[in-house]
Structure 1
Amino acid sequence: MVRTKRKIVRKRMITMKKPLLSELTLREKIGQCLIPYPWYFYRECETDYRIQRTDEERKALIQENQFGAYWEGLKVANQGVDLVPEAAGKLDYETNRQMLAMHSSWTKIPALMAADAEHEGAGTQFNGLTSICGPLALGAANSEQDLFELGKCVAKELRCAGINWRWAPPVDISNRFSLAVMRSISPDDPDKMIRLTNSYIKGMQSEGLAATAKHFPGNDRYEYRDGHFCNSILSSSEEEWWSEQGRIFQEIFDGGVYSVMVGFTSFPAIDDTKINEEYIPSAFSKKIVTDLLKGKMNFKGVVVTDAVEMASCVSTYSDYKKRMVELLKAGNDVILGCELRTAALLEEAVLEGELPESRIDDACQRIIDMKEKMGLFEDNYFSPPYKGEDVVKETQALNQKIAEKSITLVRDKYGLIPVKQSDIKHVTIVCSSHSDGFSNELECMKKEFEARGATVTMQRRVGGKPDVKRFNETSDLIIYVAYVASHVPMGWPTLFGDECRSYIYAFGEGREKSIGVSMGYPYIHYDIMGNAPAFINTYGKNPDSMKAFVKAVYGEIPLVGESPVKLIPDHMKW
């Protein structure tokens, strides 16, 4: 396979003022409304998905379609595009920034460069940047000022990687069976969600990064299904919705968030139209997107769909062109994850009278206005006035502070915590997860115990009673660590099979010196480790959270985290 040498363009080749709609062709206006799926943009999917497109091929695609935004970062790396072979699944942030600046230099209008970077910030997608605490940890730390500063830091890091549009933060309420419970800052407390999330958004947007509230119209307290796989339903009445989820979105909109992502969850209280015997997904509903979101709620920013590859989107209309047209007709301004042929299909729809050009004009204007607010028409926008290594130092210091505030003591029946360092000679760490790499990541925790004079044994899962007997006989402290996160494993947020079977035997001996800890899903203590006499939630597995956990166990920092979810569910509702 022959690869062409990449040419790096460090500055925009053309300086452009904010354009008027009258200066743009129909095709250029349509292009502003589209974000191609990285798979199609970076690979020659028409012939062989294993072949990477050359710079010249991508330039031709950009100049033909004039896409207004690009989906960058982790999606590109995970799909095997060999941009930086030594990056081990991630992209080098400076290389990525230069590459995106080059892409933007090929467009008539500076492009939005978007990434989810939802859960743990820039470090999950780019080498050399920081993996921050997850949303629940931010809620547990409960500091508006820290979140404002963290928003600024995350924005700076993403800007260093060329990213200027972050599809975060989620503001969905949830229930304990839903993946959404791990994606929002405070899913059980609307007031806290509003207060902290608005601070976070203000911090991000103060550094020229567009934030995105998602996934409108949100969730209810009962639906646990995932729209990636099926048509999920928001079953609240309109009154119930306004009391919690609707109020959250309204106050986030009033707080000035630049964009909102509309999901494919159905909301029959607002639109009970049925297509193929299913309630219409929200992103296809004019009543929800145009009448409610843009009308009654007076949202003036950019409305972007969730990824159009989701089952709840694809199952609504079998014809691809029909799906794209209906999404724009409903009132969405940007279609996320489209195919390369979409611009031509939409242009055809406008010329044939199927899609009003006025709808394209409204969407295009909103996108251009957001770009102006972000500073994209300024000459030096793609060369941020700070260095990545300097920003990372600032982010890491703040993230450590937040991690230490977030560690939450769920229970300690025997008063085990804090332990005395002189009493702990040997520690056994037992891990359970459906992420095979998690055991390696726990080396960070192991090193922290070793730094305090303990020898450490690590084991994947509990094999049976003999294992637990051995732990008790050889250890002064036994740590049972579980990691379940959003889409880890894909589907239901729990441990199953052998990973779950461990907890038939765990805590059978040595209970008085055993601690259970969840580094993700906050209900492990209730669902699976109910026998753990001592339990801690860290809400994430980034190194700062692991270090903070060990500090808390030794009493070096106080356990002050405030649980962002109800620790014990209301049984009348489950």
Structure 2
Amino acid sequence: DVLRTTAWLQKREGVPPLIGANMEHGAGRIIRGATVFPDALALAAVNDEKLALKQAVSMAREARAHGISWSFSPVVDLQAHPHSPAVNTRGLGDCPERVIRLAENLIRGMQKNGLCATARHFPGDGFDDRDQHVCTTTNPLSMDAWHATSGRIFKAVIDAGVHTIMTGHIALPACDPGTNRKLGAPPATLSSRILLDLLRCELGFKGLILAGPVDMGGITSQGSHVEILSGAINAGCDMLLFSNPSRDLPLLQRAVQRHILSEERIDESVRRVLALKEHLQLHQPSPSPALTDDDRTRHAATARTISRRAVTVVRDRDSILPITLGRGRQILSIQVKGASNRSLATIDECLRSSGADLTRMIAGEADLWISEDDVNSFDCILVHLLFCPTRSTARVRPGGMYMRTLSRLLSCRHPRVVLISYGSPYHGHDFPHLPTLINAYSSDTQSQKAVFDVLQGKLVPTATSPVCLDAPATLSEAWARETACRQASEEPQIPSE
């Protein structure tokens, strides 16, 4: 279906269109039968540049085989704030050097195989615990600190030749504090200081600037729709993601007629778009390269390798791993999900296939009653957590009525409880007394199978965490220091006699 649609679009248009898609997880989550790769944080846990390159090559070949020429990836934001709902498992960790090494290989692998890559989200997300789908978020760094972290990453991917950069609806007050006292510092999408002075002039980016989705709260809060469209283009954006042509083109035409936008500015962006199409050879029509069975097998093997090598045993204080599975074993499997659009069915299927007597519970918003006698009747309890970035939900940390179920469960002090996260790696902070914790970073089928093999001892994990797991505690310590300083400054001074 995707191939027929893209082929129809190519034939319909006189100038061949750029057809883009979010390929953060490969083609498999948008094209039926294509390869699903684990979330990017799993690749960061593996920390293998050759595997990053192989993943990118696989993504590019499958995308081009279906007529897709543009990927809205990789995400190169730093996971600086442990509760950032925008980055988390979508990013490549919290170390600039690791992000650079892996991102460079992802970009080269895609672009050498005909798929345009996009580094996102300039000037760098991951420092805020709010979601730019809802509001304008902030990168709070000084310019010196920015150049050493987010700026260093974007400079590296520019030097690696990335064709496009996507803006975030993220303010960088150190660069552009703004002039509107009510709205504060503007998002990068509407800031010429950030896009022209910083990105183009200082960092030397010559490629295409793509505005992040213009239907997100981080930009819609900044003015009327026509003000946002014309403001983004005047600020330096060449294309607008998720615009509505039938509605927006007349608005832009009127903006030109009223001299809000200039034709010269429009032409500048058009030239960049055409140059990118020429570079991708879209003007030379050719059938999409077909995939062979060997290609599919090789791509699936790469995804499986990343999933298996990523699984991290964060702690096993009582040495209960591996657990004994098989006929007669009573296993309680509890699923707690903040991402309702993702499934954890595979792990339970694997557990049943072992012959174990499996009891499955899904903890939702309703409080599930479970008694101490119920808990103690099981040989092992597996708690599966799935909290990862999901549009506009800001749920990367467990919270809700199901926490009552977990609290009651944990108070029973069962000796064999394993907490497994298929999303955020920071759950050890919320459950510090649980002795056994596994991070898989992704809920794809291969990651669930890898967790099963770790549980039964068929896979020996070697990965280490790609983020600092003490980060949530560090936040609390910083808050305490700030509070102490503020209180000290507010204490009344007793005049000396």
Task: Mark yes or no: TM-score above 0.5.
Answer: yes
Residues 290 and 331, structure 1, Cα contact 8 Å, conserved in 2: yes
Q: Note the C-alpha offset of 1:432.
A: 0.9
Please identify, of 350-359 and 517-526, the stretch whose mean Cα deviation from structure 2 is larger: 350-359
Relative to 1, partners in 2 of residues 1:354 and 1:185: Cα closer, same or farther, differing over 3 Å?
Answer: closer
| 1:225 alignment partner AA | R
Provide the residue aligned with 1:188 in structure 2: 94
Residue 457 in structure 1 maps to residue 359 in structure 2: yes
SS of the aligned residue for 2:361 comes to strand
CA–CA distance in structure 1, aligned partners of residues 219 and 391 of structure 2: 23
CA–CA distance in structure 2, aligned partners of residues 226 and 553 of structure 1: 35
State, as a whole percentage, how many aligned pairs show the same letter: 28
Query: Unaligned 5+ residue runs, structure 2?
Result: 480-497
Match 1:482 to one of 362, 375, 385 = 385
Provide the residue aligned with 1:341 in structure 2: 247
Q: Note the C-alpha offset of 1:352.
A: 4.2
Q: Note the C-alpha offset of 1:136.
A: 0.8
Relative to 1, partners in 2 of residues 1:123 and 1:358: Cα closer, same or farther, differing over 3 Å?
Answer: same
Deviations 1:83-134 (A, max 9, x none): xxxxxxxxxxxx112112212222221101111233x222222221222100
Match 1:169 to one of 74, 79, 99 = 74
Q: Note the C-alpha offset of 1:184.
A: 4.1
Provide the residue aligned with 2:312 in structure 1: 408
Deviations 1:375-416 (A, max 9, x none): 212221xx2222275543222111111111000111101001
| 1:397 alignment partner AA | A
Deviations 1:487-506 (A, max 9, x none): 27812422222222222122
SS of the aligned residue for 1:429 comes to strand
| 1:393 alignment partner AA | T
Relative to 1, partners in 2 of residues 1:220 and 1:430: Cα closer, same or farther, differing over 3 Å?
Answer: closer
Residues 380 and 417, structure 2, Cα contact 8 Å, conserved in 1: yes
Give 4+ residue runs of structure 1 displaced > 4 Å after superposition.
420-424, 435-438
SS of the aligned residue for 1:337 comes to coil
Residue 431 in structure 1 maps to residue 362 in structure 2: no
CA–CA distance in structure 2, aligned partners of residues 308 and 185 of structure 1: 22
Deviations 1:145-182 (A, max 9, x none): 01100111112222233222111111112311111342
Relative to 1, partners in 2 of residues 1:356 and 1:435: Cα closer, same or farther, differing over 3 Å?
Answer: closer
CA–CA distance in structure 2, aligned partners of residues 313 and 166 of structure 1: 22
Residue 107 in structure 1 maps to residue 13 in structure 2: yes
Q: Note the C-alpha offset of 1:356.
A: 2.4
Provide the residue aligned with 2:482 in structure 1: none
Provide the residue aligned with 2:188 in structure 1: 282
Q: Note the C-alpha offset of 1:507.
A: 3.0
Residues 385 and 422, structure 2, Cα contact 8 Å, conserved in 1: yes
Provide the residue aligned with 1:551 in structure 2: 453
Q: Note the C-alpha offset of 1:436.
A: 4.5
Residue 385 in structure 1 maps to residue 307 in structure 2: no
Provide the residue aligned with 1:269 in structure 2: 174
CA–CA distance in structure 2, aligned partners of residues 255 and 300 of structure 1: 12
Q: Note the C-alpha offset of 1:345.
A: 3.0
Residues 538 and 545, structure 1, Cα contact 8 Å, conserved in 2: yes
CA–CA distance in structure 2, aligned partners of residues 369 and 290 of structure 1: 19
Residue 330 in structure 1 maps to residue 235 in structure 2: yes
Relative to 1, partners in 2 of residues 1:520 and 1:360: Cα closer, same or farther, differing over 3 Å?
Answer: same
Aligned counterparts, 1:135-154, within 5 A? 135-154=40-59
Residue 245 in structure 1 maps to residue 147 in structure 2: no
Q: Note the C-alpha offset of 1:233.
A: 1.8
Relative to 1, partners in 2 of residues 1:556 and 1:137: Cα closer, same or farther, differing over 3 Å?
Answer: same
Provide the residue aligned with 1:561 in structure 2: 463
| 2:298 alignment partner AA | E
Deviations 1:335-354 (A, max 9, x none): 11222232233234334433
Provide the residue aligned with 2:487 in structure 1: none
CA–CA distance in structure 2, aligned partners of residues 465 and 420 of structure 1: 23
CA RMSD of aligned residues (A): 2.1
Aligned counterparts, 1:116-155, within 5 A? 116-118=22-24, 120-155=25-60
Residue 418 in structure 1 maps to residue 322 in structure 2: yes
Provide the residue aligned with 1:512 in structure 2: 415
Relative to 1, partners in 2 of residues 1:315 and 1:509: Cα closer, same or farther, differing over 3 Å?
Answer: closer
| 2:16 alignment partner AA | P
Deviations 1:511-565 (A, max 9, x none): 32210001111112212x3332101001111110000001111221111122111
Provide the residue aligned with 1:198 in structure 2: 104
Provide the residue aligned with 2:486 in structure 1: none
Residues 57 and 113, structure 2, Cα contact 8 Å, conserved in 1: yes
TM-score calculated relative to the size of structure 2? 0.89
Deviations 1:264-298 (A, max 9, x none): 11111111123361222211111111111111111
Query: Unaligned 5+ residue runs, structure 1?
Result: 1-94
Q: Note the C-alpha offset of 1:435.
A: 4.2
| 1:419 alignment partner AA | I
Residue 531 in structure 1 maps to residue 468 in structure 2: no
Please identify, of 509-518 and 239-248, the stretch whose mean Cα deviation from structure 2 is larger: 509-518
